[in-house]
Structure 1
Amino acid sequence: MFESAHIDEAIAWRRNLHRHPELGFQEERTSKFIAGLLEGWGWQVQTGLAKTGVVARLGDGGPSIGLRADIDALPIEETTGLEYASSYPGKMHACGHDGHTAMLLLAARQMASEGVTGGNVTLIFQPAEENDGGARVMIEEGLFRQHPCDSVFGIHNWPGLAPGRLVARDGEMMAAFAIFEITIEGRGGHGAMPEQSDGVVAAASRIATALQELPARRLSPLVPGVVSVTQIHTGSAFNVCPDRAVVCGTTRWFQSEAGDEIETRLAEVAQGIAAAHGCRANIDYQRRYPAAVNSAAEAGLARRVGEAMGLDAGEAGPSMASEDFAFMLNEKPGAYIWLGAARQGENPGLHSPRFDFNDEVLPTGAEYWVRLTRQALSG
């Protein structure tokens, strides 16, 4: 489908983006790069949604499909040693968003060359997928009012699947998530006389243990739920019982009732254990992303397009990881798709400081976008 020179150029785009990673809502260089290419190919381009988002439109009216790629990087120090490794200390494309962007750009070039008939295609290059909810912000600022879409699709490279695999489940794909910060306060004192202080460290330790057991005791074994304590901060010296500790982490779920139960019981457990140690627990609990749930019709279309390309579109279980494309799926029918992208030999996972997008699947993803668009607009 693509000229070999165009594939090579797309790989060069991807590596250029990899070398210049930008964090959420700061993707100014990336945004200019994307917009410049699209304008040169004749797309109608809008910039500025959610600060650094880029939206492009092409077609002859009628039905409209939206295709989304995320463009932000992560605050991770890269250790790949690649010649095109990040040139920005403490930032890297450790999730493959550079590859997602290049795939959609290669598809956009082909669509502009062939023309889009039977409807419109809207390309959504979205900032701040990692933690900051760029999809939500784009929607709030008028994404679908200004660029109506009948359906919307997103792709994520998936190192846990071999190249040639594709997954688009009917229903649940990725979990909802929240973050929490529990501040435990009590009397501090001398390490030799702990009876004269409150048990801040003991409370923090027991809260951390109890919270991670919470889903197993409060949710049915048939209902997914995860609580992960990821940070404990306290203390300043060997001989000081501190007066403050902070316990942080995330919670994950699919069913709204499970999310409510986890939030309620987390507060009860933290406050109860803190009180038992003579301490107080203040809880900051923030729900960030809803669950990403595919509509059956669009997931079925996604699988059929993959199968027509010779991809194995077999089933796989949902992931307890989270994805802010969920906000778009809350607004429009659509599907989130995992594209197999495992490497032979060492195959670092997403968010690893040694991760690098597998360029071998870049043309596959781009061809998939072109074929999906044709199929969706042909009725």
Structure 2
Amino acid sequence: MERYVYYSIILFSSFIFFLYAYLLYQKALEFIEAKKEKAFKKEVIPFIDKIMQDLENRYPDEDKILKIRTIIKNRIKRKLIIERIIVYTELYNGKIRNSMTRLCEETGIVDYELKNLKKGDKFNIALSCKNLGEFRSKRALSELVKIIDKNFVDIRYHSLMAISKIGDANSLVNAFNKLSSNLLLSDRSLTEIIDSFEGDKAQLYKSMINSDDVFLSTIFIKSAGNYMDIDLNYQISKYIDDEDKNRRIAAIKAIGQNGDVRFLDKLIDKLKDEEWEVRSTASKSLGRIGDSKALPKLVESLSDSQWWVRYNSARSIFQIPRGIEIIETVIKGEDKFAKDILIASLEDSGVINDIYLYENSQDEKKRNLAYLVRKYVIYRES
């Protein structure tokens, strides 16, 4: 028994020793690489900076192209050049950025990153996808679409983002369709990818709003609301009555963000939707559209069974012109739910202080409104 204990101690000690030796070896390698990188920066960075700064007026000659081709054969120098070029691609756009793309293609930098896509290290593949997006080379599109279905979130995100930055609508549509519901990406990440698209966004939205994949269609409808192109609203509006709750909500929100009064009646009808989240979104969107036709139905929604529907309806009422006139009717009414939520909303928004100023108004109706509101607030707090 003692012999086994002795062997175990030796084995464990040996393991600790080799682990320690390995860590020392890694630290030594990192130190050597850091020193090399520091030395190479003095050579590489000024050279690349000069080329980048001259791009607006002069594309580099063949000698400089060949020099970059030679430099990038060194792993550390190549890394420094790629990082430096990306600094400039993030700063500039238009003609200068197009020249940067051409430079990355002609020097072989794009080819290097494309080769990386076929290697096994998932993190390096994701990094190469990211870099290819910064280079905005259309030569990378087919490989980026091919790699899109790899079961690794970072690769999917960066490949989609790269295609989006390159700005080819057909390739991005193909990539999304290839993944379909197996995206493994959050709504926020997908919206960020769509919003970053640098090509013809109208074409992209027209292709994807009607996607057979309900989830993707919903994401694109949400993003289209931020895009603020009312020409897309006819496509979006047909989903206001969609059987999928989330797509209904996305469509209602997008129409509201655009303030498109053409679909006012359809949004008013959604105040009676069976799902409270849909009713809540509709009540908020009606405030953004700001048409007084919605006021009577919004007043009815002050008595909704769900708090958020009541609250959004109250906020929308005084966002709409003439909505302030409705407040007196509600305060004089018998519905305590309606009165409480209206006062709470007025207090949260600070509008109630504006109403109190009516006490000194020459307009009798405004003075009466201020009196009624203050009287109810005192009653409620007592």
Same fold (TM over 0.5): no
Q: Which protein is richer in helix relative to its size?
A: 2
CA radius of gyration, larger in = 2
Q: Which protein is richer in strand relative to its size?
A: 1
**TM-score calculated relative to the size of structure 1:** 0.21
**Greater RCO, CA 8 A, separation 6+:** 1
